[in-house]
Chain A
Amino acid sequence: MNTPLPSRRDFFDFATTGLTTAALASLLAPSHAASANKPVPHFTPKARRAIHICLIGGFSHIDSFDYKPELEKFHAKKPPPSLKPNSFFGSEGLLRQNEWKFRKRGKSGLYISNLFPHIASVADELTIINSMHAESANHTPAMFLQNSGFQANGFPSLGSWLSYGLGAENHSLPTFIVLPDARSLPNSGAANWTSGFLPAKHQGTLFRSGPTPIRNLFAGDKFSPAAQHDARALLKQINRQHYQRRPHDDLLAARIHAYEIAAKMQTAVPEAVNFDNESEQTKSAYGLDQKQTADCARRCILARRLLERGVRFVQLFSGGAFGGKPRHGWDGHEHNHRNHSREAGLIDQPVAALINDLKQRGMLEDTLLIITSEFGRTPFTQAPAGKLGRGRDHNPEGFTTILVGAGLKKGVTYGATDPLGWKAVHNPVSWPDAHATILHILGIDHEKLTFYHNGIHRRLTNVHGSVIKQILA
């Protein structure tokens, strides 16, 4: 074969709309390696990769990371008129105090409740934003806001923007991988990790549990690896003969290359999901050996392994579809204590172990861990007026996001809700602000990461967003 096969890292993931193959080739020539089509970090990144843990349903900030002693005083009292609640179900009962004891943790003295005893043990690693607010009290649009910055569907998710902006480090694995809760997928499924109008290769790839997490990784037929190998070699020869008769067509070469990458993926993916070389100590630290924590532990270990192998962004979901009994997720409408006890029990140990593990391996130096929920929960109970219920309703006015890792001040809180934990009043942080900050830590100026679509240079942060400089180290 006369023409060498391409080896440039983003050769084959190039979107080629409107480009002929020849134009593509010129764009891909080494002298144009940093062509404007491929955004690169705008400044030295603090983190090169990230894990995003999404707690679906709205986890209660006032029962976990946002300590409100005032709420204890007002327990079983009427919400003051100044609260002006507009809850999702419109039934605003009496105030309920935090349901788990808070105390100061670690050297930083952050207040964290007993809901998350394991995560509390790594308090000194956490950067807690207690002044998040969202524009929707409905799960689906609020989830879209959290993941894409827009309430409507069809906009690229955070992970897709990062895949687009940072590219892949390892082409044998997808850049953006999604690890759903074993119980169910989130509502609207893939719309949460869609690449929207970005090229399809930037969408999240769903990893199912089991040894072959990617669809069609292997053929479900009887052929031996040797036979598969022979067949691939045959295909390669057929394609090369075709290509030799059509010089100048680099897309054809790219496609031959993509087959080779696919073959590598067949090795890389099973290797990544195989925990045989993880120590028993590690597995047990994550809780892989306990029924309750096994699913989250598996995914936390896998997330770390994927990052180690060059994946940019791994998104874990805690919780799945809304509705159902018991609920899959943090949507504690009926009995918040029971609901949150169960959900926290599933993730507390694995997530804390992940933080410890990343730190011990030195990965926290260049990894960002993000823990979010689409909104928080109300300080008043979901009950008829004057009654003290057991559930809490959605609260988009004030809630908590936690960042861990690279480029951050550790063991600090930022912003605050009012004394009852209802509304973000001090240094409020919107989703675009949070997204801008996350991109910043990953070396990206949120106003410069754009994609031209429908006549607009689209951004993750639309026309909003300010980096929260105060939490940066």
Chain B
Amino acid sequence: MTQTTCHFSLTTFILFTFLFTPVSSAVTPSQAKLHFFETKIRPLLTKHCYKCHAKTSEKIKGNLTLDTKMGWTMGGDMGPAIKPGDPNRSLILKAVSYKDPDLQMPPKKKLSNRAIQLLRKWIADGAIDPRAGKPHVTSNNLDIPAAKKTWTYTTPKSQPLPKTQNTNWPKNRIDHFILAKLESASLRPSQPASKTTLIRRLYFDLIGLPPTTQQLNQALNDQSPTWIQTLTNKLLATKAYGQRWARFWLDLARYAEDQAHIVGSNSSLFYPNAYLYRDWVINALNADTPYNRFIQLQLAADIIQPDDLKSHVALGFMGLGPKYYRRNAPDVMADEWEDRVDTLSRGLLGLTVACARCHDHKYDPISTKDYYALAGVFASTQMYNRKLNAQGNTKSPKDALHIIREGKPRDLNVLIRGNVQNKGPIVKRRFLEVLSNPTSKPFTKGSGRLELAQAITSPQNPLTARVIVNRIWATYFHQGIVATPSNFGSLGKKPSHPQLLDDLAARFIKNGWSLKWLHRQITSSATYRQSSTPSTAAYTKDPANTLLSHVPRRRMSVEQWRDNILLLAGRLDINATGKSIDPRDPKQTKRTVYAKVSRLKLNPMLVTFDFPDPNAHAATRVQTVTPLQKLFVLNSPFIIAQARALADLTAKQPDNTPAKIDWLYTRLFSRKPTPPEKQLATQYLQNTSGQNADRWLKYTQALLASNELFFID
């Protein structure tokens, strides 16, 4: 059985093998041979093969058609089906003979011996076939020169600013691109959000926490026109910034601290020190490590700075990836390479290269050779347990970092249809052809990891900068300029503002691949300052808000939400770092980024609130609204403990119900309650059917459970 993981299409492809298939000599077939074909072979093929191997098939299997001569000459995924004159080397006879358990055709029932003899004779006699016509094919996606001319594969450049009618609104370059599109759709930007809303938005976006009342007032008192830049810089300089944005990266890196299969009490697949990689990411972001370096270190720190052992923890990016059962068996290792190629290609390049494991990519200019050229890098790399602070490996995971190191360099065979038994040509380790230039060479240094990292982070690479800029943008605006952030290929969404993305990406590189620079660009734009309430015109004309006529109201991530609640309850320890925690534990005070991430048993709280499955790279977080989330918010020991803590804090305020309600609203929502809200609260709290303290507890819990506490305006 092949390890295919992608779909075969309804149509076939012209395979490169075609180019090397000898053209059969132009002999006029004798009448007898034609007669033999028409009476014996054509009916046989029609009856037994056309269901899956003809233009009329509902679905063509294996990209092979047998209803034209050219169809079997070109062959399918496994190569030409028939070698005229040579039945023993004709795949079709191998398949019908049922000798190979992995290649048995027709799949349901073996042909009669007589039918097989007829086929054999026909092939031995030269496989005379009068059926002209081209096989059912689609366009060739592997036209690399043509692909290189398309937007996706063109290096982004800084763009001229488009003209806009309104020249007052733009505050920086971003706004010109946004406004031009809005104006061409006869839409206007929304009013700016209130300063308080903006301050809250900046806090949640940049550090994942709300402002305290004091911080809020401090920012409100800054009357300078550049107060946003000042606040942005202040927040980017906190440790909390790295804690907020590390999780963003860890989703892409499918970070986890164990494996999905663990037998009995075997703990060798638990990585108790995996958190050190998480700490590395947090620190790297806080230090504003240039993004190109950030990637290079995660792929090749051991090669770049062999003596700086501490920095090798960055290699957890691949080192903490999934391991599958029965490792070292060829098919299992092939699955693991797929994980590495997938995480690398979708995560860093926005390309679904893993689709080309079994056949050339059906939609993008990526061949199986490209896939195996990259897979070879990981086949030449080993995972291992390195001693915590020294060279050399160790057996005990608790004393180890699980990272990668150089293995024996090897080039892989293309595995035809992903089948480890079915080896095609060897391909040298190298970068994707469509992202290479004529001077690019195969990788020669060890596994090629460093060369791979350099190719990915080359300023000429058309995708790397755009992909990260787009991801960060999407975190602010709920959707990316390319709405499929891990797929910039032809099945991905087209960019809504390609010039803006190019302009940002080009300047991002020019500004030293600085992520903090990018955050500053976004937060200082007028686009970011807009209110989250759409105008009626916007709601009608652009309901998906692709043109960004307002800033979408966003639901908090589970990390933002839990951290917010802990902070409001006075129970968040923003200085706590390091080892992993159970975020449900009512006593736990660490931020949610430190939640233990398990492939084996993901924490139920995380699962309930749409945390992505760490078994694979997650392009985005899905958002669901489920009753189980509500049960957690209403009844979990976690929430009750926080509500109690908040009620205790409220009790310490002056003994005056309206003042306490004011205090709570200011603390939780950075605003005073409206009269109806105050009336509702007063009524509820005055109801004497229960204990007064219990009423306060229930009231604080209701506020913590409220929608307002889940959303960022």
A224-232, A273-281, A371-379: which lies at the interface: A224-232
Interface residues as binary, B622-649 with A (CB distance below 8 Å gives 1, 0 otherwise):
1111111111101111001000000000
Residues of B674-692 at the interface with A, using a CB-CB cut-off of 8 Å, are: 674, 676-677, 680, 684, 687, 689-690
Task: Confirm or deny: A98 has a beta carbon within 8 angstroms of a beta carbon on chain B.
Answer: no
Query: Known contacts being A13-B624, A322-B263, is A239 close to B706, with CB within 8 Å?
Result: yes
Output the least CB separation between B701 and chain A (Å).
Answer: 7
Task: Confirm or deny: B261 has a beta carbon within 8 angstroms of a beta carbon on chain A.
Answer: yes
Q: Within 8 Å CB of B544, what residues of A?
A: 19-20, 22-23
Q: Within 8 Å CB of B698, what residues of A?
A: 223, 227, 230-231, 234
A59-67, A134-142, A404-412: which lies at the interface: A134-142
A41-49, A117-125, A241-249, A352-360: which lies at the interface: A241-249
**Which chain B residue lies CB-closest to A191?**
B260
Output the least CB separation between B544 and chain A (Å).
Answer: 4
A216-B634 in contact (CB<8A): yes
A254-B677 in contact (CB<8A): no
Query: Known contacts being A223-B698, A249-B553, is A234 close to B260, with CB within 8 Å?
Result: no
Interface residues as binary, B598-635 with A (CB distance below 8 Å gives 1, 0 otherwise):
01111010011010010111011111111111111011
Other-chain residue from B5, B599, B624 in contact with A200 (beta carbon distance below 8 A): B624
Q: Within 8 Å CB of B631, what residues of A?
A: 214-217, 262, 265-266
Output the least CB separation between B345 and chain A (Å).
Answer: 10
Query: Known contacts being A21-B553, A153-B615, A200-B624, is A454 close to B635, with CB within 8 Å?
Result: no
B622-A199 in contact (CB<8A): yes
Measured CA separation A297–B601 after assembly (Å): 28
A235-B702 in contact (CB<8A): yes
Task: Confirm or deny: B325 has a beta carbon within 8 angstroms of a beta carbon on chain A.
Answer: yes
Output the least CB separation between B473 and chain A (Å).
Answer: 13
Q: Within 8 Å CB of B45, what residues of A?
A: none
A188-B710 in contact (CB<8A): no
B600-A188 in contact (CB<8A): yes
Q: Within 8 Å CB of A239, what residues of B?
A: 706-708
Task: Confirm or deny: B694 has a beta carbon within 8 angstroms of a beta carbon on chain A.
Answer: yes
Q: Within 8 Å CB of B545, what residues of A?
A: 20, 22-23
Output the least CB separation between A422 and chain B (Å).
Answer: 14
Output the least CB separation between B97 and chain A (Å).
Answer: 17
B261-A140 in contact (CB<8A): yes
Interface residues as binary, A1-27 with B (CB distance below 8 Å gives 1, 0 otherwise):
000000000001111111111110110
Measured CA separation A249–B533 after assembly (Å): 9
Output the least CB separation between A67 and chain B (Å).
Answer: 25
Give the most central of A152, A188, A221, A251: most B CB within 10 Å.
A152
Residues of A174-210 at the interface with B, using a CB-CB cut-off of 8 Å, are: 174, 187-191, 194, 196-197, 199-201, 203, 205
Other-chain residue from A256, A259, A454 in contact with B616 (beta carbon distance below 8 A): A454
Task: Confirm or deny: B524 has a beta carbon within 8 angstroms of a beta carbon on chain A.
Answer: no
Measured CA separation A173–B649 after assembly (Å): 37
Task: Confirm or deny: B346 has a beta carbon within 8 angstroms of a beta carbon on chain A.
Answer: yes
Q: Within 8 Å CB of A457, what residues of B?
A: 7
Task: Confirm or deny: B489 has a beta carbon within 8 angstroms of a beta carbon on chain A.
Answer: yes
A22-B539 in contact (CB<8A): yes
B553-A197 in contact (CB<8A): no
B599-A17 in contact (CB<8A): no
**Which chain B residue lies CB-closest to A459?**
B7
Output the least CB separation between A459 and chain B (Å).
Answer: 8
Measured CA separation A223–B699 after assembly (Å): 13
Task: Confirm or deny: A258 has a beta carbon within 8 angstroms of a beta carbon on chain B.
Answer: yes
Q: Within 8 Å CB of B616, what residues of A?
A: 154, 197, 454
Task: Confirm or deny: B324 has a beta carbon within 8 angstroms of a beta carbon on chain A.
Answer: yes
Q: Within 8 Å CB of B613, what residues of A?
A: 154, 194, 196-197
Q: Within 8 Å CB of A430, what residues of B?
A: 1
Residues of A414-473 at the interface with B, using a CB-CB cut-off of 8 Å, are: 430, 447, 454-457, 459, 462-463
Output the least CB separation between B358 and chain A (Å).
Answer: 9
Task: Confirm or deny: B486 has a beta carbon within 8 angstroms of a beta carbon on chain A.
Answer: yes
Main secondary structure of the interface of B (DSSP, over half): loop
Residues of B319-346 at the interface with A, using a CB-CB cut-off of 8 Å, are: 322, 324-326, 335, 342, 346
Measured CA separation A447–B698 after assembly (Å): 50
Measured CA separation A205–B326 after assembly (Å): 29
Task: Confirm or deny: B703 has a beta carbon within 8 angstroms of a beta carbon on chain A.
Answer: yes
Other-chain residue from A151, A242, A246 in contact with B325 (beta carbon distance below 8 A): A151
Task: Confirm or deny: A267 has a beta carbon within 8 angstroms of a beta carbon on chain B.
Answer: no
Other-chain residue from A135, A203, A226, A454 in contact with B342 (beta carbon distance below 8 A): A454
A238-B680 in contact (CB<8A): yes
Give the most central of B553, B630, B684: most A CB within 10 Å.
B630
Task: Confirm or deny: B119 has a beta carbon within 8 angstroms of a beta carbon on chain A.
Answer: no
Q: Which range holds the interface residue count of chain B?
A: 35 or more
Give the number of chain A interface residues (Cβ < 8 Å).
Answer: 89
Q: Within 8 Å CB of A459, what residues of B?
A: 7
Q: Within 8 Å CB of B627, what residues of A?
A: 171, 258-259, 261-262, 264-265
**Which chain B residue lies CB-closest to A261?**
B627
B699-A221 in contact (CB<8A): no
Give the most central of A25, A171, A189, A454: most B CB within 10 Å.
A454
B676-A258 in contact (CB<8A): no
Measured CA separation A189–B607 after assembly (Å): 14
**Which chain B residue lies CB-closest to A20?**
B545
Measured CA separation A203–B543 after assembly (Å): 30
**Which chain B residue lies CB-closest to A27?**
B543
Task: Confirm or deny: A69 has a beta carbon within 8 angstroms of a beta carbon on chain B.
Answer: no
Other-chain residue from A215, A254, A323 in contact with B625 (beta carbon distance below 8 A): A254
**Which chain B residue lies CB-closest to A455?**
B352
Task: Confirm or deny: A326 has a beta carbon within 8 angstroms of a beta carbon on chain B.
Answer: no
Measured CA separation A190–B614 after assembly (Å): 13
Output the least CB separation between B684 and chain A (Å).
Answer: 5
Give the most central of B487, B539, B625, B677: most A CB within 10 Å.
B625
Q: Within 8 Å CB of B677, what residues of A?
A: 238, 241
Task: Confirm or deny: B552 has a beta carbon within 8 angstroms of a beta carbon on chain A.
Answer: yes
Query: Known contacts being A17-B623, A246-B553, is A25 close to B543, with CB within 8 Å?
Result: yes
Task: Confirm or deny: A219 has a beta carbon within 8 angstroms of a beta carbon on chain B.
Answer: yes
**Which chain A residue lies CB-closest to B636?**
A216
Task: Confirm or deny: B202 has a beta carbon within 8 angstroms of a beta carbon on chain A.
Answer: no
A18-B1 in contact (CB<8A): no
Q: Within 8 Å CB of B426, what residues of A?
A: none
Measured CA separation A231–B701 after assembly (Å): 9
**Which chain A residue lies CB-closest to B355?**
A455
Other-chain residue from A197, A201, A248, A323 in contact with B626 (beta carbon distance below 8 A): A201
Task: Confirm or deny: A255 has a beta carbon within 8 angstroms of a beta carbon on chain B.
Answer: yes
Task: Confirm or deny: B354 has a beta carbon within 8 angstroms of a beta carbon on chain A.
Answer: yes
Q: Within 8 Å CB of A402, what residues of B?
A: none
Task: Confirm or deny: B571 has a beta carbon within 8 angstroms of a beta carbon on chain A.
Answer: no
A218-B635 in contact (CB<8A): yes
Residues of B522-553 at the interface with A, using a CB-CB cut-off of 8 Å, are: 533-534, 539, 543-545, 552-553
Residues of B471-527 at the interface with A, using a CB-CB cut-off of 8 Å, are: 478-479, 483-484, 486-487, 489, 491
Q: Within 8 Å CB of B553, what residues of A?
A: 21, 246, 249
Chain B residues near A (Cβ < 8 Å) = 1, 4-8, 59, 260-264, 322, 324-326, 335, 342, 346, 352, 354-355, 478-479, 483-484, 486-487, 489, 491, 533-534, 539, 543-545, 552-553, 555, 599-602, 604, 607-608, 610, 613, 615-617, 619-632, 634-637, 640, 674, 676-677, 680, 684, 687, 689-690, 694, 698-699, 701-703, 705-708, 710-711, 713
Q: A215-B631, A262-B631, A462-B5 are in contact. List 11 more A-B contacts (CB 8 A).
A: A153-B615, A196-B613, A199-B624, A219-B640, A232-B634, A234-B702, A246-B533, A246-B553, A248-B539, A455-B354, A456-B7
Sampled A-B contacts (28; CB under 8 Å)? A12-B625, A13-B625, A13-B626, A15-B622, A15-B623, A20-B478, A141-B326, A154-B615, A174-B628, A188-B600, A190-B601, A197-B613, A200-B607, A216-B631, A216-B635, A231-B698, A238-B708, A239-B706, A241-B677, A259-B630, A261-B627, A265-B627, A454-B346, A454-B486, A455-B491, A456-B5, A456-B352, A463-B6
Q: Return the 6 tightest CB-CB contacts between A and B, nearest first.
A: A455-B352, A154-B615, A262-B630, A22-B543, A153-B260, A219-B635
